[in-house]
């Protein structure tokens, strides 16, 4: 087995930190943007507290296949930090059986009212998984930006 890989990404969102925080921490808001364009979320469950579980279903726009993912919250520090495990369900992951990975999100309020997202996804199994997750999260964050520019998430 190859050594785990880590994905680090930074994005600046043209929205205040409390608004970006709500987008990550309200199921109805997550449903509006979670998942890449070709696999948008169709179901989100969230128990937002350390030890609480989360689960989401993504559906392919091409053929209605579904992918389930989920995990447990390790840290919830409003409105700046979320740490949670992330694991695909089922055995059809891009490089075999899914593994537990760890996502850390740090939101920093910028002086001009924008928010910096510092995103880390640790424990990916391979370079292939790293590339796939980079694509998925990039598309997902593009959708988040669009959502933040429209109606306020969770409202």
pLDDT in tens, 128-146: 889 999 999 999 999 999 9
Q: What residue spans define the domains of the chain?
A: 5-149
Cα 13 to chain centroid distance, Å, stands at 15
- pLDDT (tens digit, 9 = 90+) per residue, 65-97? 999 999 999 999 999 999 999 999 987 666 678
φ and ψ at residue 48, rounded to 5 degrees: -80, 85
Q: Which residue has the tokens 């559906």?
A: 59
How far apart (Å, rounded) are the C-alpha atoms in residues 100 and 108?
26
CATH architecture of 5-149: 2-Layer Sandwich (3.30)
CB 20 within 8 Å of CB 117: yes
91 vs 69, 88, 98, CA distance in Å? 12, 8, 7
pTM assigned to the model: 0.92
């Amino acid at each position: 087995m190859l050594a785990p890989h880590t994905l680090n990404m930074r994005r600046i969102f043209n929205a205040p930190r409390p608004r970006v925080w709500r987008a990550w921490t309200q199921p109805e808001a997550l449903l509006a943007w979670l998942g890449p364009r070709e696999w948008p979320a169709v179901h989100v469950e969230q128990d937002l507290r350390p030890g609480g579980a989360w689960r989401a279903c993504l559906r392919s726009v091409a053929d209605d296949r579904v992918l389930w993912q989920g995990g447990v919250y390790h840290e919830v520090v409003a409105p700046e930090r979320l740490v949670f495990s992330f694991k695909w369900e089922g055995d059809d992951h891009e490089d075999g059986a899914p593994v537990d990975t760890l996502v850390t999100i740090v939101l920093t309020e910028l002086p001009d009212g924008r928010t910096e997202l510092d995103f880390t996804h640790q424990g990916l199994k391979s370079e292939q998984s790293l590339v796939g997750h980079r694509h998925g999260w990039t598309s997902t964050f593009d959708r988040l930006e669009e959502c933040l520019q429209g109606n306020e998430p969770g409202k």
